Chains A and B, each alone.
Chain A
């Protein structure tokens, strides 16, 4: 069976050329759940490299058995439509209402008009506690509301792989509990493979995931 994610010999450097990750290997089977813990820059870097957003210093990444960097545009779009990604930074378009942010992948990939709000969107929103699709723009919404929208959008297209970067970051304990719990239930309902980066034990517990702890590469 094709792995959901296969990372081989991944090496990442930070902007100043200092090593973040060296020779990192990972094989994530379909439906498997894994939390990577450790230095935030390194764990976040691994997820960004996995999504093809940062070029690694070395190594290869195969998403659902395919190297996204070598795919034609249409095939790459179709591949990413099968993956839900919730980044730490820049998840939402700041000039677009949260409702439109949430619906964007659905509208783009299914060519929906702006008046259409499919049942799938309401279902995804409901899974993360959004009773209605919020109309506020991201900068004036609460961290919790933004997080609900980001995660609801990540599961909107029924992904087979969820890549979630620090889903409880900046949340208070109660909100973090709730988000972790909802994420675990949503991943369970989807049956998707999950790769999460988090140092919050609640995320791993809620996902029922094994945890991989990265050793720090920082040098004195």
Chain B
């Protein structure tokens, strides 16, 4: 497939959704809001335990590696910011959401298309974009942002606690203070850029792949695979791009 044409299609979906949310359609219909809430519940709320678990484990890995490298408390504080806030938080959350939700979205929409349920919506005068795509895009983007906040909070807390346990003369409060010192205002914008945009990208890709499935049940698994692979590629590509632009340029 022509990558440029594919990128244009995904951008068009996101652009159309943003236009619909902000300008064209006014308030979201209650029936569409209900789909949005279900999406946030599934993608965000129900993923909190798994996200927290991975956040704790990532903190252990970072702190242990920092200690093995002979890092002092100042170094660990900086490493937690660099590794977790700027990079691993958005990336790990992106991966979690792609694995849990984007695969589910592509499968659900693919099955709806194969089962001609999408046609039924059209025949009822229900716009499939407004009813199926818009709430999923919004829900996934909101969930990715919120899960990243959860991930970073848990990971920094666990990292600070573990560092305090391993370092005899440094308390967890001291580590958190060092984390705060190393956090720059720009980091907040970076986290926003690395969560909002990938959230929109992965949801748009998953909806596109699901709704593009040909009308055969055998078309659904390849659509799910394509959604996962392309969403992950988009998340990592965007992350690398933002890092390069912000911290190198």
Contact = CB atoms under 8 A, between A and B. Distances in A.
Contact of B125 (A105, A107, A153): A105
Contacts of A77: 125-127
A94 B123 contact: no
A204 interface: no
B131 A108 contact: yes
16 contacts: A51-B122, A80-B124, A83-B123, A85-B120, A85-B123, A89-B115, A90-B115, A90-B116, A90-B120, A94-B115, A94-B117, A104-B126, A107-B29, A111-B30, A113-B30, A153-B124
Contact of A108 (B111, B112, B116, B125): B125
B127 to A, nearest CB: 6
B126 A87 contact: no
A152 interface: no
Given A51-B122, A104-B126, A153-B124, 17 more contacts: A52-B123, A53-B122, A73-B127, A81-B125, A87-B123, A90-B115, A90-B116, A90-B120, A93-B112, A94-B112, A104-B31, A107-B30, A108-B29, A108-B32, A108-B124, A111-B30, A114-B34
B31 A108 contact: yes
Interface residues of B, number: 22
B34 A79 contact: no
B108 interface: yes
Contacts of A105: 124-126
Contact of B119 (A53, A78, A79, A109): A53
B116 A114 contact: no
Nearest to A113: B30
Contacts of B112: 90, 93-94
Nearest to B123: A85
B123 A51 contact: yes
Contacts of B31: 104, 107-108, 111-112, 114
Interface of B: 29-32, 34, 108, 111-112, 115-127, 131
Contacts, number: 77
Contacts of B121: 93
A67 to B, nearest CB: 15
A108 B31 CA distance: 6
A44 to B, nearest CB: 11
A206 interface: no
Interface string A98-142: 000000110111011110000000000000000000000000000
A217 interface: no
Chain B contact residues: helix, strand, loop or mixed: helix
Contacts of A155: none
Nearest to B28: A111
Contacts of B118: 90
Contact of A111 (B29, B116, B119): B29
Nearest to B38: A95
A104 B124 contact: yes
A89 B120 CA distance: 9
A176 B117 CA distance: 24
A138 to B, nearest CB: 10
Nearest first, the 5 closest Cβ-Cβ pairs linking A and B are A90-B116, A80-B125, A107-B31, A77-B125, A85-B123
A89 B34 contact: no
A50 B158 CA distance: 62
A151 interface: no
A77 B25 CA distance: 14
A92 B120 contact: yes
A91 B30 CA distance: 22
Contacts of A212: none
B111 A94 contact: yes
Contact of A91 (B29, B120, B131): B120
A89 B115 CA distance: 7
Contacts of A26: none
